[in-house]
């Protein structure tokens, strides 16, 4: 993409309404525009990152054997009357009437609708296990929308629902989600720690929230610092192997890590003092086993192998897709701007032409651009007639992890400069070598 043909409305001034760094940088980098409290347009650069995040979520869900579908944003109120949540949900639910005076709502979540789909089509244990998910916009009329996409009213969520014949199978689905989430967040360059959370009236050890540590996080968290060292990495996990999946979950949930709702001071004090940490975190996901809560009230049953009819066992599992942009920026930035991890960056590399209009520099940039494209890498080429300083400032603000700088002086010696946004370290090399290096970096991503 050539910058002169793109739509990147960067702001020079710090927007006064933004209280935290991610919100400020998303506005300044021209990623989002607020349309109403907690409701945003996604401008081209923001949309690219949102799409990258969705792609990673889809890939990891499908790797775990979960099946995508798409449910609507608007739902009939009657479904929610069946579960009893229409009245319980309160003012967070946006209620709408259509022209026939039928009561509708903009979905804040989809347990009822997915249960309805299930009961319409499935009635035998032979069709289980089944996990269906979608990535869809939600609306919650939050009391205090703030921090940009971090706490919006309209926001994008991945929500998945497992259906299983018995509790042991449903707990395997829970564990499978935990492992797939760990891999999802790691691919986005994040450390998201599964923490025991409050399961509300259902009780038990059956919900975890995933938290990204950040001083601006809304949740207070308590953990053993050793938990931040755990990594899933590239290990192959067989998602059908219950013991293997459970062992990974055990590895990630044995060290103390809890939100304030479940915090236990006595257990916390047993951790060696230097590893005892109290911090703040951003909730980027939550997994939940809730058994037959919805299947019983909505009549979603299956016939088991011995011929008896039982309510299906369920759980629901959410990832805050749009919130993740904010969380990633909170975790990865400096005073010049965003530093995108390679996994989610809007463009893999930027090209800065130091002397637009110089025949050699223009030609070198064009051929770099084409060579990168030939390797499947779309560069953002700053071809504006601007000072070098302004071009660097834009690149630093929008946070592409790699920059290739091209100027007449370097070209006279046959080199361009490759710079890492994260370390600031620059290296001179032949243009072909820069292309090869970038291709190598992105090969495994």
Which residues contact ligand ATP (rule: CB under 6 A)?
A: 109, 140, 142, 151-152, 155, 157, 283-286, 318, 320, 322-323
Smallest distance, Mg ion to C-beta of residue 262, A: 13
Residue 66 contact partner, candidates Mg ion, ligand ATP, none, CB within 5 to 8 A by sort of partner: none
Residue 157 contact partner, candidates Mg ion, ligand ATP, none, CB within 5 to 8 A by sort of partner: ligand ATP
Smallest distance, ligand ATP to C-beta of residue 146, A: 9
Q: Quick one: 109 or 394, whose CB is closer to ligand ATP?
A: 109
Phi, psi of 76 (to 5 degrees): -75, 140
The pair of structure tokens assigned to 410 is 């370097």
Smallest distance, ligand ATP to C-beta of residue 39, A: 11
Q: Indicate if the alpha-carbon torsion angle 409, 414, 420, 421 is positive or negative.
A: positive
Residue 142 contact partner, candidates Mg ion, ligand ATP, none, CB within 5 to 8 A by sort of partner: ligand ATP
Encode burial over 358-393: b for 16+ CB neighbours within 10 A, e otherwise: beebeebbeebbebbeeeebebbbbbeebeeeebbb
Q: What's 127's DSSP letter?
A: G
Smallest distance, Mg ion to C-beta of residue 288, A: 8
The pair of structure tokens assigned to 320 is 């805050």
Cis peptide before 161 (omega within 30 of 0): no
Residue 323 contact partner, candidates ligand ATP, Mg ion, none, CB within 5 to 8 A by sort of partner: ligand ATP
Residue 320 contact partner, candidates Mg ion, ligand ATP, none, CB within 5 to 8 A by sort of partner: ligand ATP
Residue 285 contact partner, candidates ligand ATP, Mg ion, none, CB within 5 to 8 A by sort of partner: ligand ATP
Smallest distance, ligand ATP to C-beta of residue 93, A: 13
Q: Quick one: 326 or 401, whose CB is closer to ligand ATP?
A: 326
Per-residue 3-state assignment (H helix, E strand, C coil) for 237-292 = CCCCCHHHHHHHHHHHHCCCEEECCCCCHHHHHCCCHHHEEEEEEEEEEEEEEEEC
Q: Quick one: 211 or 352, whose CB is closer to ligand ATP?
A: 211
Smallest distance, ligand ATP to C-beta of residue 283, A: 4
Which of 316, 314, 290, 307 minimizes the C-alpha distance to 129?
A: 314
Residue 431 contact partner, candidates ligand ATP, Mg ion, none, CB within 5 to 8 A by sort of partner: none
d(CA 282, CA 221): 10
Q: Quick one: 281 or 341, whose CB is closer to Mg ion?
A: 281
Smallest distance, ligand ATP to C-beta of residue 142, A: 5
Smallest distance, Mg ion to C-beta of residue 283, A: 6
Q: Quick one: 283 or 313, whose CB is closer to ligand ATP?
A: 283
Q: Quick one: 195 or 298, whose CB is closer to ligand ATP?
A: 195
d(CA 90, CA 80): 12
Whether residue 429 contacts residue 418, with contact meaning beta carbons closer than 8 Å, is answered with yes
**Interaction site with Mg ion (CB under 5 A):** 286
Residue entry with tokens 């409050």: 198
Q: Quick one: 218 or 251, whose CB is closer to Mg ion?
A: 218
Q: Quick one: 140 or 277, whose CB is closer to ligand ATP?
A: 140
Query: Which strand (E) or helix (H) includes residue 27?
Result: helix 21-28
Strand partners, 133: 68, 160
Residue 196 contact partner, candidates ligand ATP, Mg ion, none, CB within 5 to 8 A by sort of partner: none
Give the three-class secondary structure for 32: strand
Smallest distance, ligand ATP to C-beta of residue 284, A: 5
Q: Quick one: 162 or 301, whose CB is closer to Mg ion?
A: 162
Q: Quick count: other Cβ atoms within 10 Å of Cβ 230?
A: 18
């Amino acid at each position: 993409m050539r910058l002169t043909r793109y739509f990147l409305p960067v702001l020079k001034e710090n927007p006064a309404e933004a209280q935290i760094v991610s919100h400020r940088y998303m506005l300044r980098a021209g990623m989002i525009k607020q349309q109403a409290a907690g409701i945003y347009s996604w401008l081209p650069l923001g949309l690219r990152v949102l799409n990258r995040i969705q792609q990673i979520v889809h890939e990891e869900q499908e790797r775990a054997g979960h099946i995508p579908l798409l449910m609507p944003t608007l739902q009939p109120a009657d479904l929610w009357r069946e579960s009893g949540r229409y009245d319980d949900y309160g003012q967070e639910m946006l209620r709408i009437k259509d022209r026939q005076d039928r009561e509708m709502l903009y979905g804040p979540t989809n347990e009822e609708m997915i249960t309805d789909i299930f009961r319409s089509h499935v009635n035998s244990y032979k069709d289980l296990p089944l996990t269906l998910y979608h990535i869809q916009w939600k609306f919650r009329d939050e009391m205090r929308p703030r921090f940009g996409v971090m706490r919006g009213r309209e926001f994008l969520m991945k929500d998945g629902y497992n259906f299983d014949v018995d509790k042991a199978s449903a707990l395997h689905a829970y564990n499978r989600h935990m492992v797939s989430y760990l891999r999802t967040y790691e691919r986005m360059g994040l450390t998201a720690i599964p923490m025991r959370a409050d399961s509300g009236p259902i009780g038990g050890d059956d919900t975890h929230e995933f938290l990204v540590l950040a001083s601006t996080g809304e949740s207070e968290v308590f953990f053993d610092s050793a938990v931040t060292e755990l990594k899933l990495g590239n290990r192959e996990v067989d998602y059908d192997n219950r013991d293997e999946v459970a062992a990974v979950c055990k590895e990630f949930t044995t060290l103390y890590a809890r939100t304030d709702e479940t915090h236990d001071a006595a257990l916390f004090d047993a951790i060696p003092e230097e590893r005892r940490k109290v911090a703040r975190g951003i909730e980027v996901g939550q997994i939940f086993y809730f058994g037959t809560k919805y299947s019983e009230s909505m009549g979603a049953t299956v016939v088991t192998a011995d011929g008896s009819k039982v309510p299906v066992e369920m759980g629901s599992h959410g990832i805050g897709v749009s919130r993740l942009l904010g969380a990633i920026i909170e975790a990865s930035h400096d005073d010049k701007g965003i530093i995108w991890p390679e996994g989610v960056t809007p463009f893999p590399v930027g090209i800065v032409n130091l002397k637009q209009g110089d025949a050699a520099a223009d030609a070198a940039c064009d051929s770099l651009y084409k060579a990168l494209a030939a390797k499947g890498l779309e560069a953002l080429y700053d071809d504006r007639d601007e000072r070098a300083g302004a071009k660097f400032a834009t690149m630093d603000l929008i946070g592409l992890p790699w920059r290739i700088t091209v100027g007449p002086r370097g070209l006279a010696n046959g080199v361009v400069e490759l710079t890492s946004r994260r370390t600031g370290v620059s290296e001179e090399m032949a243009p072909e070598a820069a292309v090869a290096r970038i291709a190598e970096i992105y090969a495994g991503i």
